[in-house]
């Protein structure tokens, strides 16, 4: 959206009642569910019953465009857009772009894509904090004229030193009692670009002895001669996040300003700004952010991983970014269901990533087509099958979805099976292929191992078998049973592909937990988080599979087609294994 378009759709900064569709008056009866499912919904429904906010529900999702969003942001997206949807309200998408040295258009575009991918839209309600810079500047002048803000010459280090600690009150700046006229003059000169970066700030005049450090004369503006991705070079002073966030909510007439718990101590400051300026005052509500085991949730550290080339980019499938999990094969439905299940609380905690994977498996199980693929191939020759002939066997596409129908898979004299599905010297209770042992080929025949061929190192490279033609489809007419069923692909018809096997990016549940002095979170990076396997072989039905397509490789896991695929080389990412450990975890927790 261009700047001119943005200014036309920008909300009225005055404190007049909003008109038009924003003033819809929802009711708890509009809710998709019969009652509230968390404390925020209880607050909203109480507000609707009492007529607070004129019956409006107006939320916003306000990311800073200084990096890619991660799974933690997905919780906030689902919460803010979901509340508006449930109660017939509106949710704005607002970019809090107050730091031009860290923000890029690339991040803006990625955030838009992420929100849309999760299934939410914002119509014409896309805003930027930079749209409000003129209004924020006027409010800063208002604070100066009211004796509530002053220009300070202390350096950043001195400001921190004067601020004090939790047990020691702060010390007033020697510049705190400048006259209103001098402060106005200096602030205008700051805007005019007369001073170098960091030489002066504008600070609020509140209380240097406050037990809340955020109230100890916080900085409102700093000098920063930097090009802004939207406003260009119009400004060389930029408002701080804390001076921007609450007032942006006020301008947009947000009713329920939903933040994570780390903003709880900032709420008195946001209240002070609105009250002192005499402007519309939203209600801030804090909730616990999402923390996941084996997952780094710091945007700054994720950026370091990208810059240090520890990963292949923001969309590396090992990254917890929305772009990364999307490329890995996660679905928006699975992420939304996960966010619904973890709920919204006031207490910090850590969620086991197994629950996220459980939600993913449930969704992929319903939607994924079944296919056969072999990751580590071992050649099998069926000696009594006619050379040059080919059967076409019927296979089920998805037993969870009868409408998905069936397909045919070619069967020939030479096959590939998994190396793990054969043992020359099998352990007890090994029911797969072994010398003299009979197994069922999925959708195919019973085969029995008769001999093996080894290489110079003594490794088995080829297994020779015989098949029983009467067992086509996997059943023996004489009623004999086999305990093992293995998957396979026809060697003559198989497609060679590359498969990328992903594991947790970090080896410890808490990536910040280090074992020795001088180590940091990087020491917990998993060196085996990615294994590239090639060539692998898949059945020919996958020819032409499009990037993003979801498949279950029978007995192996869920996979999707990576964007690196070409017409001549398909690349598959393992999205998640078939094994579901969440049920075991849940059982332990409830025991």
Q: What CATH number does the domain containing 64 carry? A: 3.40.50.620
Domain-embedded: residue 466:
yes
Region 491-511: what's the mean pLDDT?
Answer: 97
405: domain CATH number is: 2.40.240.10
Given pLDDT bands bounded at 50, 70 and 90, which one contains residue 520? very high
- Whether residue 535 is preceded by a cis peptide bond, meaning omega within 30 degrees of 0, is yes
pLDDT digits (tens, 9 = 90+) for 201-251: 999 999 999 999 999 999 999 999 999 999 999 999 999 999 999 999 999
Region 295-302: what's the mean pLDDT?
Answer: 95
Rounded Cα distance, 117 and 110, in Å = 10
Beta-carbon contacts of 129 under 8 Å, excluding residues fewer than 6 positions away, are 94, 95, 96, 97, 98, 239, 244, 245, 248
442 carries an active-site annotation: no
Both 231 and 253 in one domain: the answer is yes
Report how far Cα 277 is from the mean position of its chain's Cα atoms: 37
pLDDT digits (tens, 9 = 90+) for 437-467: 999 999 999 999 999 999 999 999 999 999 9
Region 316-326: what's the mean pLDDT?
Answer: 98
Domain-embedded: residue 341:
yes
Residue 306 phi, psi dihedral angles, 5° rounding: -70, -50
- End of a domain among 487, 507, 542? 487
Both 179 and 81 in one domain: the answer is yes
| Residue (of 560, 550, 539, 557) closest to 444 by Cα position | 539
Both 271 and 397 in one domain: the answer is no
Helix ranges (DSSP H) in 477-517:
none
Pick the catalytic residue from 64, 103, 357, 554.
Answer: 64
Domain-embedded: residue 295:
no
Both 347 and 471 in one domain: the answer is no
In this prediction, residue 187 carries a pLDDT of: 98
Both 211 and 310 in one domain: the answer is no
Region 246-268: what's the mean pLDDT?
Answer: 97
Both 517 and 533 in one domain: the answer is yes
Both 281 and 358 in one domain: the answer is no
Domain-embedded: residue 234:
yes
pLDDT digits (tens, 9 = 90+) for 341-396: 999 999 999 999 999 999 999 999 999 999 999 999 999 999 999 999 999 999 99
User: Does the structure show a pLDDT above 70 at 89?
Assistant: yes
Pick the catalytic residue from 52, 112, 163, 289.
Answer: 289
In this prediction, residue 580 carries a pLDDT of: 67
Both 329 and 420 in one domain: the answer is no
Domain-embedded: residue 238:
yes
Domain-embedded: residue 147:
yes
Both 165 and 213 in one domain: the answer is yes
Percentage of the chain exceeding pLDDT 90 = 90
Number of domains in the chain: 3
Domain-embedded: residue 307:
yes
> Mean pLDDT across the chain, nearest whole number?
92
In this prediction, residue 581 carries a pLDDT of: 53
Both 378 and 367 in one domain: the answer is no
Pick the catalytic residue from 86, 205, 222, 299.
Answer: 299
Domain coverage including residue 476: 373-487
Cβ pair 540, 372 in contact under 8 A: no
Give the CA distances from residue 262 to residues 58, 361, 575, in Å, rounded to whole numbers and listed in that order: 22, 32, 32
What is the number of other CB atoms lying within 10 angstroms of the CB of residue 456? 6
Q: Is the pTM of this model over 0.95?
A: no
Percentage of the chain exceeding pLDDT 70 = 92
Domain-embedded: residue 142:
yes
- End of a domain among 469, 487, 505? 487
pLDDT digits (tens, 9 = 90+) for 467-477: 999 999 989 99
More confident residue, 294 or 30: 294
- End of a domain among 265, 287, 309? 287
Region 242-262: what's the mean pLDDT?
Answer: 97
75 carries an active-site annotation: no
Both 430 and 407 in one domain: the answer is yes
310 carries an active-site annotation: no
Both 268 and 325 in one domain: the answer is no
């Amino acid at each position: 959206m261009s700047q001119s378009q943005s200014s036309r759709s920008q909300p009225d900064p005055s404190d007049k009642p909003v008109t038009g569709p924003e003033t819809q008056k929802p009711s708890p009866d509009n809710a998709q569910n019969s009652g509230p499912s968390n404390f925020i919904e209880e607050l909203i429904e109480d507000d609707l019953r009492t007529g607070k906010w004129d019956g409006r529900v107006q939320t916003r999702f306000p990311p800073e465009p200084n990096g890619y969003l991660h799974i933690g942001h997905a919780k906030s997206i689902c919460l803010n857009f979901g509340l508006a949807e449930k109660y017939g309200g509106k949710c704005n998408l607002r970019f809090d772009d107050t730091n031009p040295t860290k923000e890029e258009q690339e991040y803006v575009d990625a955030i838009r894509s992420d929100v849309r991918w999760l299934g939410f839209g914002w119509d014409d309600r896309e805003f930027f904090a930079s749209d409000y810079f003129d209004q924020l500047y006027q409010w800063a002048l208002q604070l100066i004229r009211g004796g509530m803000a002053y220009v300070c010459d202390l350096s950043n280090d001195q400001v921190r030193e004067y601020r004090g600690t939790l047990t020691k009150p702060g010390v007033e700046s020697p510049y705190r009692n400048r006259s209103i006229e001098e402060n106005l003059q200096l602030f205008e000169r700051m805007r005019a670009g007369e001073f170098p970066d960091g030489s002066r700030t504008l600070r609020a005049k509140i209380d240097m002895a406050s037990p809340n450090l955020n109230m100890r004369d916080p900085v409102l503006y700093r000098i920063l001669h930097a090009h802004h991705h939207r406003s260009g070079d119009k400004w060389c002073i930029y408002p701080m996040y804390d001076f921007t966030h609450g007032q942006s909510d006020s301008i947009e007439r947000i009713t329920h300003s939903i933040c994570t718990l780390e903003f709880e101590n900032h709420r008195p400051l946001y209240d002070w700004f609105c009250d002192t300026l005499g402007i519309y005052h939203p209600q801030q509500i804090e909730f616990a952010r999402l923390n996941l085991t084996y997952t780094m949730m710091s945007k700054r550290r994720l950026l370091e991983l990208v810059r240090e080339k520890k990963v292949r980019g923001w969309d590396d499938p090992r990254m917890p970014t929305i772009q990364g999990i999307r490329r890995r094969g996660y679905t928006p439905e699975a992420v939304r269901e996960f966010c619904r299940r973890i709920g919204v609380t006031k207490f910090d905690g850590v969620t086991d990533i197994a629950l996220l994977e459980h939600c993913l498996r449930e969704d992929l199980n319903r939607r994924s087509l079944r296919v056969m693929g072999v990751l580590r191939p071992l050649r099998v020759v069926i000696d009594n099958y006619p050379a040059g002939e080919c059967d076409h066997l019927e296979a089920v596409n998805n037993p969870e979805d009868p409408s998905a129908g069936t397909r045919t898979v070619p069967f020939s004299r030479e096959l590939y099976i998994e190396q793990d599905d054969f043992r020359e010297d099998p352990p007890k209770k090994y029911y797969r292929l072994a010398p003299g042992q009979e197994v069922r080929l999925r959708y195919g025949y019973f085969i029995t191992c008769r001999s093996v061929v080894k290489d110079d190192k003594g490794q088995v490279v080829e297994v020779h078998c015989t098949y029983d033609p009467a067992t086509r489809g996997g059943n023996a007419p004489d009623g004999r049973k086999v305990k093992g069923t293995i998957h396979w692909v026809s060697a003559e018809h198989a497609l060679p592909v590359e498969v990328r096997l992903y594991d947790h990016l970090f080896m410890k549940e808490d990536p910040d937990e280090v074992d020795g002095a001088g180590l940091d979170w990087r020491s917990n990076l998993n060196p085996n988080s990615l294994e590239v396997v090639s060539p692998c072989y898949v059945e020919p039905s996958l020819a032409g599979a499009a990037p993003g397509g979801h498949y279950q490789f029978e007995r192996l896991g869920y996979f999707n087609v990576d964007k690196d695929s070409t017409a001549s080389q398909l690349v598959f990412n393992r999205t998640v294994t078939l094994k579901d450990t969440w049920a075991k975890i849940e059982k332990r927790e409830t025991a």
